[in-house]
Amino acid sequence: MTFAGVGTFMTKEISLEHVWVEFGEFTAVQKANLNIAGGEFFSFLGPSGCGKTTLLRCISGFQEPTRGLVKIGGKDMKGVGPNKRPTALIFQNLALFPLRSVADNISFPLEVRGVDKKTRRKRADELLELIALPGQGDKKVSELSGGQKQRVAIARALAVEPDILLLDEPLSALDLKLRQHMRTELRAIQKQVGLTFIYITHDQGEALTMSDRIAVMNKGKIEQIGDGKTIYDHPSTSFVASFVGENNVLEGTVLTNDGKMMQIDAGLGTLFHVESHPAGGPALAPGDACQLFVRPEALKIAKSDNSLNQFETRFVTEEFEGNMRHIVLDAQGKKLKLSLINDGTHSIGASAPVKLDFAPALGIALKPGELASA
């Protein structure tokens, strides 16, 4: 697909300033502050009910924030209805009009702007060409497959040449293979038209693969904003560490912290050495309680008997996932998960103790906080 020449897209930046949304007693969004640059692919990631859709509705104009400002292209959007904003929203269920043909769906935004029928049809055909559905304009929406509907929804959103495209979990209804295919396709469309994309998802895989930056949300609060690598490798809160990707959690106490390295006692008979990395939220002082996160793929089977951060575990069970082997181990009553690439080199016995270690850079110590429920 190529979107060159589909239209002229002005990219506009968006800023949210101290946005609060309250429904009676319930606070859906609290103090959201962020700037999204023009042409950025920005994702909101969080569990369902975290307020990400409410935030999206604030940007698209279906919801007025209780407090705070929503600015698009530097202009305050207060009192500007959804039909007057330069945004186009792709709904979770796509919201294609079932009684209209594919072409009439795509040209709907032009129809309501009073564009004549011939021009509308021409534009619809152009867009159909570009979403690789040429000559399918007269079909009913119900005759299309899931992926085709998806592309029609995108074409309809692009027909008005919006400045910002908002996507509300548009891939959640598709099957796995199609979802992965659409991920690359969406990213390609965004690169080609250079539009600002704001993408809402609870699927971290989607967020990590497509986004320039991600905001992780929980209970109406933005926990962390950063690119995918930062979010995954250097989470700033316990929630982000446990929500994005899988993580093993060990409760412990900080013994020393010299600004570069920390020593942590997690009750496993070993003193863990962990880098105290700069981005990692509030600094921990000696004596503070902490949560130590080590990702399953960061854990290694110890190669020698006296490596750093080494501790002993016992084998419990194994989950086989084809390319990966996920091994559940028991470390003094704590369940830990170890992920190994299935390259045939590892053999783990059921009875013998397994010695594990991890690199100091891959352990993350954070202030104790709420964990994402599995």
Partner 1 sequence: MKIKSPTAVIPGIYLALFFAYLFGPLIIMVITAFNSSNFPRVSPWECFTTDWFGKLVADDKLIEGLGNSLLIGVGVVAVAIPIGLAAAIMLSQVGPRLRASLYTIFIAPILVPGVVIGLSTLIFWDRIGTFFNAPYESFFYDGTFLTIFGQVTFIAAYSMLVFLSRIQRFDTTLTEAALDMGATPTQAFVKVLLPFMAPAIGSATVLAFLASLENYNTTVFTIVSSSTFTTVLSSKVRYGLDPSISAVAVIIISITLIGAIIYECRNRYHSKGWSLVVAERPVLKVATHPGSVAAVLGLLAIGAVLFIQNHDSSACTAQILEDKRAIQQKLMEQQSLDTPAVTPAPTTPKLGPLGGEDTGGTSAPSPFGGNAGSIFSPENLSGSAGSTPSTSDAPTSPPSSGVGGIFAPENLTGSGAN
| By the rule CB under 8 A, 320 interacts with partner 1 | no
Backbone phi, psi, residue 311, to 5° = -150, 165
Can you tell me which of 67, 75, 78, 113 binds partner 1, judged by CB under 8 A? 113
Can you tell me which of 156, 202, 213, 295 binds partner 1, judged by CB under 8 A? 156
Segment contacting partner 1 by CB under 8 A, of 3-11, 90-98, 223-231, 287-295: 90-98
Can you tell me which of 65, 68, 109, 226 binds partner 1, judged by CB under 8 A? 109
Task: Report the residue number, 149 or 156, with the smaller CB distance to partner 1.
Answer: 156
**75, β-bridge pairs:** 72
Strand pairing report for 334-341 and 311-320: unpaired
Segment contacting partner 1 by CB under 8 A, of 151-159, 170-178, 185-193, 335-343: 151-159
| By the rule CB under 8 A, 20 interacts with partner 1 | no
Can you tell me which of 20, 91, 232, 315 binds partner 1, judged by CB under 8 A? 91
Q: What are the structure tokens assigned to 288, written together?
A: 């503070």
| By the rule CB under 8 A, 95 interacts with partner 1 | yes
| By the rule CB under 8 A, 97 interacts with partner 1 | yes
Task: Report the residue number, 169 or 288, with the smaller CB distance to partner 1.
Answer: 169
Task: Report the residue number, 62 or 315, with the smaller CB distance to partner 1.
Answer: 62
**How many whole angstroms separate alpha carbon 137 and alpha carbon 331?**
61
Q: What are the structure tokens assigned to 35, written together?
A: 């700037």
| By the rule CB under 8 A, 157 interacts with partner 1 | yes
| Burial of 333 from C-beta contacts in 10 A (0-12 / 13-18 / 19+) | exposed
| By the rule CB under 8 A, 108 interacts with partner 1 | yes
| By the rule CB under 8 A, 165 interacts with partner 1 | no
Can you tell me which of 4, 99, 285, 350 binds partner 1, judged by CB under 8 A? 99
Segment contacting partner 1 by CB under 8 A, of 31-39, 84-92, 264-272, 280-288: 84-92
The site for partner 1 (CB under 8 A) is made up of: 60-62, 81-84, 87-89, 91-93, 95, 97, 99, 108-109, 111-113, 156-157, 159-160
